[in-house]
Structure 1
Amino acid sequence: MKKYILSLALVATCALAGELKYQEIDGFLSPESVFVDKNAMYVSNVGKKLEPLAKDHDGFISKLDKNGKILEYKFLNDLDAPKGMMEIGNILYVVDIDTLKGFDLSNKKEVFNLPIKGSIFLNDIEKLNDKTLLISDTGTGIIYKVDLKTKKYNNLLKLDLKEYGGPNGLFLHKNLLYIAGYDPSGVSGGVVLSYNLKNKKIQVLKSEKEPYDGIVLKNNILYISSWGKDLNGIIYALNLKNKNIKKLNLPLMKGPADIFLDKNDLWIPKMAEGKILKVELK
């Protein structure tokens, strides 16, 4: 385990109306997503090379405690390029390029495997209910609705890649599915939008096209990660009431990917740096 020791640094900085404290955790291999449950946190690692679509079997998931201390560096291994995660009933579901997989957290055995035909770039997972997951495919523009019991799936929504970008990060609040768009071609970027599950209406919330990745909601504020230009990553705070948009004043981030919010802690994978940033929000 010595080769996998993670270095920790606690630094204070200013952002928005006050100070934000953050902690940096080093030692990962292209970390793409973070998921935190009651007992631990999990980090999906794409692998040594930042190749999110490479079927090279060097992807894995790390397990840490909620303070960022390593518990098991390769908790789940022999994956290709794991990304978004979601836990239901002690099963950790993860998308791995074109397949949805599930692992029993008590024994680490794979208990679910569902290839999604025609998918290209499965990216994030959101829970509709304990039997149904929503999965974004950035490559095709499709958000799939997956029945975990029957292993059947269909298209919930298909976005126009040129207009919106492909769906990357997902966050569900009541009947609104918030979506961070990302252009898989890397040409025009995507937008931030919401999709109403009841009336099927799309509303663009941030029209400036950028390579958006993760998205979470806290107290009517959407936090959105963007890879920015030339790997100068940004975390936006979008107030849904007054539509004000601010940038969190954080240190340089290269490739902020699928963010996760655990109470007041915002976890940010810095994918191109091999690090995780834990930010304490107010």
Structure 2
Amino acid sequence: MKNFIKIILLVSFFYACKNDKKEVEKTSENENIATVLTPELLLKVTGLTHAESVVYDKNSDALYVSLIGNREKGDGSIAKISLDGKVVDTTFVSGLNDPKGIAIKGDKIYVSDVVDLVEADLNSGKVIRNHTNEEAEFLNDVEIGKDGTVYVSDTSKSSIFALAPDGTFSEFINSDQLEHPNGLLLVDDTMYVSAWGNVVGDGEKAKQSGNFLKLNMQTKEIMKVSKDTLGNLDGAQVYEKDNFLISAWNTGKIIKINTNGDAEDILTVGMSVGDILYIPEKKLLALPMNRQSQLLIYTLEEVEK
């Protein structure tokens, strides 16, 4: 009887190990399934005069889009748009000159406006105050840190300015290594930068193409993420851990890039795509199209090849 029991146990152990092996092999196979990031156009919002930047506010469940206007003094604005594409108000914040990057923190909305960083009330749209620095030349994208510091790129000067919680507006860093920064994206202590690019060459042969960079906010060390220049870069968003979505204004490409610098084109929408937005929980990608005066909204899904 003892020998019989031993045989039963050995047989059971053999089949258990065999089944475990099959399960491991199955799991391994699932991990190797290839997927491709697939965008599908959901909505096209028109009549947004030279749309430049877009942000999402969870509290109002709405999009806010900066509209440059026709470059006449005071004709720029921030529009409010519902997620189903309805234009709620094209002049939610009005009286701006040439608004570009925008960011939201609490009940405040910040927008760059030539050499001013405009602070407005998110509930009423009323401008509270303008922050400026005499050294600013061409303020562009806006990003906000956890401590409330508001950062804004100066593309012309190759700088980043900072509005401290105490109201001081000063230059945080100036460096040719920033390659004329456009888009800003703060992740913990690292500021990721979509660079417009330094000018290389002279006259008609001059070229300007930027890298995706990272700036250590403590040491101010600047390093390249991209392995090569990718174009006149504009917006930057987190897609998932260690992966980002960036836009190239001149080529109209949306590029997925990881922290190792591996890049792939996922979509081409045409020249002048601006400061983009990705909403992970909704898998929505919003693209402001400057020259087309449109906002394109895509769904973004991982699909098996």
Q: TM-score, normalised by structure 1?
A: 0.84
Unmatched 5+ stretches in structure 1: 1-15, 49-53
Q: Distance in 1 between matches of 2:38 and 2:151?
A: 35
Paired residue secondary structure (1:86):
strand
* 1:218 matches 2:239: yes
User: How do 1:1-282 and structure 2 match up within 5 A?
Assistant: 17=36, 19-22=38-41, 23-38=43-58, 39=60, 40-48=62-70, 54=71, 56-148=73-165, 150-160=166-176, 164-183=178-197, 187-206=207-226, 207-208=228-229, 210-219=231-240, 220-228=242-250, 232-241=251-260, 243-250=261-268, 252-263=269-280, 264-282=283-301
Q: Is the 8 A contact 2:53 2:288 kept in 1?
A: yes
Post-superposition Cα deviations, 1:188-223, rounded to whole Å, max 9, x if no partner, equal 222210011133221101231521111111212111
Q: Is the 8 A contact 2:198 2:208 kept in 1?
A: no
Q: Distance in 1 between matches of 2:167 and 2:239?
A: 32
Paired residue secondary structure (1:112):
strand
Q: Distance in 1 between matches of 2:39 and 2:148?
A: 37
Q: Distance in 2 between matches of 1:82 and 1:31?
A: 9
**Could you tell me how far 1:95 is from its partner in structure 2?**
0.9
- State the number of aligned residues: 254
Q: Per residue, is there more strand in 1 or in 2? A: 1
Q: Distance in 2 between matches of 1:20 and 1:131?
A: 33
Q: Is the 8 A contact 2:142 2:150 kept in 1?
A: yes
Q: Per residue, is there more helix in 1 or in 2? A: 2
Post-superposition Cα deviations, 1:240-267, rounded to whole Å, max 9, x if no partner, equal 25x32110134x3220111112222121
Paired residue secondary structure (1:42):
strand
Relative to structure 1, is the Cα distance of residues 90 and 164 closer, same or farther in structure 2, using a 3 angstrom cutoff? closer
**Could you tell me how far 1:187 is from its partner in structure 2?**
3.8
Unmatched 5+ stretches in structure 2: 1-34, 200-205
Identical aligned pairs, as a percentage?
A: 27
Paired residue secondary structure (1:120):
coil
Q: TM-score, normalised by structure 2?
A: 0.78
Q: Distance in 1 between matches of 2:88 and 2:72?
A: 26
**Which has the greater radius of gyration?**
2
**Could you tell me how far 1:135 is from its partner in structure 2?**
0.9
Q: Is the 8 A contact 2:191 2:217 kept in 1?
A: yes
